[in-house]
Amino acid sequence: MPAQVLERTVTLLLEGTCKLLWGFPPRLMKPTVAQLGASSALRWFVGNMPRYERTLAAYGETRTHLLCLAISLVNGCHYCTYGHGYALQLAYLREHGRLFPLGELELQRLCGLPPAAIRYDLVGATQRAALHGDTRHLERVLTLTLAEDPRATDEDDLRLIHLVRMFDTLNSVGIRHKIPPDQAHSALNKDYALKRRYDALRGVSG
């Protein structure tokens, strides 16, 4: 199969899979296939997405997207910051019935700032959101993101290090190709009633 045809086929396959999961084909897929190569991109997604889904099942939507957001903020990827930041907003609203303390624009402003500033604002928002059980994971994933050679000390670390390494790749694609944001990287993106409720609340809150 010619290389261009293979790239197109793999891109359509990945976009179609994400559309089933999230309700839309992410803009990240085509640049990822172009950057990694068709075969490597397919192997990468097959190797990483099932582990990501297991983490999502173990941690739940709110914690998982908070961690993915934190990694993307430190790495400076606006695309993944928006996708997982928006997913965090929807998950938090569904689980707690109120808005997360930092809105999408406030999160975007943190993207690429010094890690200490990101840590301060994001940990503070997490505590104000009463996500006290998630603060330890957030602190740890920020430490692992900044580590040159992160090493696991327990089962949680294995999950966190996988997220760090997974988003190193995704963030690098988003940054290199300057991909504009699209939608929430979550199955909650298909919950249109939840999204309308979120938009109304965020509009009232400014």
Q: What is the pLDDT of residue 1?
A: 60
Token pair 């296939």 in the structure block, residue: 33
CA–CA distance, 71 with 81 (Å, rounded to integer) = 9
Query: SS3 for 100?
Result: coil
CA–CA distance, 73 with 83 (Å, rounded to integer) = 12
- Write down how long the chain is: 206
Interhelix angle 155-176/132-146, nearest 10 degrees: 60
Q: What is the pLDDT of residue 4?
A: 87
Lookup: tokens for 197: 């409720």
Q: In the 8-state DSSP scheme, what is residue 179? A: P
Whole-prediction pTM value?
0.94
Cβ pair 143, 136 in contact under 8 A: no
CA–CA distance, 188 with 206 (Å, rounded to integer) = 22
Q: What is the pLDDT of residue 206?
A: 41
Give the dihedral sign, CA 20/104/67/193: negative
Q: Return the amino acid letter for 178.
A: K
pLDDT-flagged residues of the chain (< 70):
1, 204-206
Q: How far is CA 90 from CA 28, 82, 87, 201, in A?
A: 21, 12, 5, 11
